[in-house]
Amino acid sequence: MRRFAYCKVVLATSLVWVMLDMFILLYFSECNKCDDKRERGLPGRDVLRPREGPGEGGKPVVISKENQEKMKEMFKINQFNLMASEMIAFNRTLPDVRLEGCKNKLYPDDLPRTSVVIVFHNEAWSTLLRTVRSVIDRSPKSLLEEVVLVDDASERDFLKRPLEQYVRRMEVPVRVVRMEQRSGLIRARLKGASLSTGQVITFLDAHCECTIGWLEPLLARIKLDRKTVVCPIIDVISDDTFEYMAGSDMTYGGFNWKLNFRWYPVPQREMDRRKGDRTLPVRTPTMAGGLFSIDRDYFQEIGTYDAGMDIWGGENLEISFRIWQCGGTLEIVTCSHVGHVFRKATPYTFPGGTGQIINKNNRRLAEVWMDQFKNFFYIISPDCKKCVAVLCRKT
């Protein structure tokens, strides 16, 4: 009888121990999995698991016949297919459009951290939040300091308190900063930059989508040489369907004598310099302007942007000339891809009209950086010299 009691006690204690062991085993194996996910960030995990839904995998969105009229109405609000954009998940999957040679490249562990500064003015909720979501989902957490959203005096209510409340819940600090009055891209970016804290500042437009592995190759170039300013390849997000289309690594930035930014084929000499390896960064004369990363201290050293430029236009050539003439290098990093919604018309209104502002900005660009070459610009745009002189004197 006594032996039976002993047996019971032994059995019961072993059972308790077995259960305890199982619990500990399960607990720690689960936790390992979590840590794995968190540490590696698995930035492209959704790429591996294609989901169903409009625009997934970067596919074009098809609008049904009965909605065509409404779609056209909505198009006018932002000059892109807002209806399509609203149908697409904020964290939609995208194809991996990188060159094969980019996919297995290794980068140092101790890359500098970046703040991402995004200026917006009356941006659509869906494009803005998809930009933020793609930055957070596809950047290793260890490299992303914060996201700073700079509101250049938007008039839409949903961009006020609702935006602040929405971004508060995100896994990475997202700050919303307001300009007191309409200040333009340049001054808004400068404010965002001054309030951010990362060693690198990455500027993005408010209607972008970052793809897998976009950030590491950019930061790696800056780590190698802090005077290198880097742009990703800008992929095209269709303004009609939001289809995601890979941009070319065979074009780089230039300009014409009207001082318009233009894409040109990468010349043979630049291909030769890279010994034909298209995964190596391309030295580019100018940048498109919307998307680039720069070391914070170097940005200060070169005097940041020309804060006397208004709203938009010319600032991308200005900073390009500034970088090259102040001992820096401007590159397109071909292993980094970020999508951008290219529009056929601008939805923004400027006080005084677009033409006047761009003329004034371009004149500042020519006078400051172009020495005698400015005369080519004045020959091509003779009325610029006259009419803009009046504007310049006023400010």
Shortest distance in whole angstroms from residue 195 CB to Mn ion: 22
Q: Which of 46, 151, 152, 205 binds Mn ion (CB under 5 A)?
A: 205
Residue 331 binding Mn ion, by CB under 5 A: no
Cβ closer to Mn ion: 266 or 288? Answer: 288
- The C-alpha atoms of residue 309 and residue 186 are separated, in whole angstroms, by 7
> Is the Cβ–Cβ distance between 271 and 304 less than 8 Å?
no
Cβ closer to Mn ion: 281 or 290? Answer: 290
Shortest distance in whole angstroms from residue 292 CB to Mn ion: 13
The candidate with the shortest Cα–Cα distance to 54, out of 86, 96, 97, is 86
Residue 315 binding Mn ion, by CB under 5 A: no
Shortest distance in whole angstroms from residue 237 CB to Mn ion: 10
Cβ closer to Mn ion: 136 or 291? Answer: 291
DSSP string computed for 69-111? HHHHHHHHHHTS-HHHHHHS-TT------S-HHHHT----S-P
Cβ closer to Mn ion: 261 or 324? Answer: 261
Instruction: Give the Cβ contact number of residue 377 at 10 Å.
Output: 22
> Is the Cβ–Cβ distance between 203 and 49 less than 8 Å?
no
**Per-residue x/- marks for Mn ion, 274-313, CB under 5 A?**
----------------x-----------------------
Cβ closer to Mn ion: 236 or 391? Answer: 236
List 255's β-bridge partners, or say none. Answer: 261
Residue 123 binding Mn ion, by CB under 5 A: no
Q: Strand pairing of 261-265 and 251-255?
A: antiparallel
Residue 249 binding Mn ion, by CB under 5 A: no
Shortest distance in whole angstroms from residue 318 CB to Mn ion: 17
The candidate with the shortest Cα–Cα distance to 325, out of 361, 309, 301, is 301
Q: Report the interface residues with Mn ion, using CB under 5 A.
A: 205, 290
